Amino acid sequence: MTRQLISSGSSFEQDIAYSRAVVTRDAGGDWIFVSGTTGFDYATMSIADDIVSQTDQCLRNIQAALAQAQSSLRDVVRVTYVVPTASDFPQCWPVLRQYFGDVRPAAMMISAGLLDPRMKIEIEVTARRQPTASQPA
């Protein structure tokens, strides 16, 4: 089994000693584990004030990590949402349907505090990509 570390370039990864995603490759395909991802725009290290915009940015950040692993949201099999205020979660549903409407991964939502009070949501995903003919197993 091989292991590939993926970085978004966020300073948080270096400061806290984690990877944006980790890919493990074996004969059955690739498991891609994407760390809890917030709504920070890593290019500007800024974050929107509202949960809907943050949800969209979270998923764009996750898409970028999955793309580095030659994967996509279509490969997501599990997603966990963490929101500090449970009553805010329904505001995210239209954005979640936009990204996961056809994929419909297994999901869980947890209401808990996040590291920075500006963070309104954190999303973690697990994806499974099957090997292709051109990809060595």
Domains in the chain, CATH or no CATH each: 2-129 (3.30.1330.40)
Instruction: Supply φ then ψ for residue 99, to 5 degrees.
Output: -85, -35
pTM of the model: 0.87
The predicted pLDDT at position 39 comes to: 96
Region 18-35 average pLDDT: 86
Cα angle 107, 103, 115 (rounded to 5 degrees) comes to 40
Of the pLDDT bands very low, low, confident and very high (cuts 50, 70, 90), residue 124 is: very high
**Closest listed residue to residue 25, CA positions, set 4, 50, 6:** 4
Q: What is the pLDDT of residue 137?
A: 46
Instruction: Write out the two tokens for 22.
Output: 């980790």
Two tokens at 29?
A: 């395909």
The beta-strand segments (E) located in the chain are: 2-6, 21-26, 29-38, 40-41, 46-47, 76-83, 106-111, 122-129
- Tokens 């963070």 locate to 119
pLDDT digits 0-9 by tens, 40-59? 998 888 999 999 999 999 99
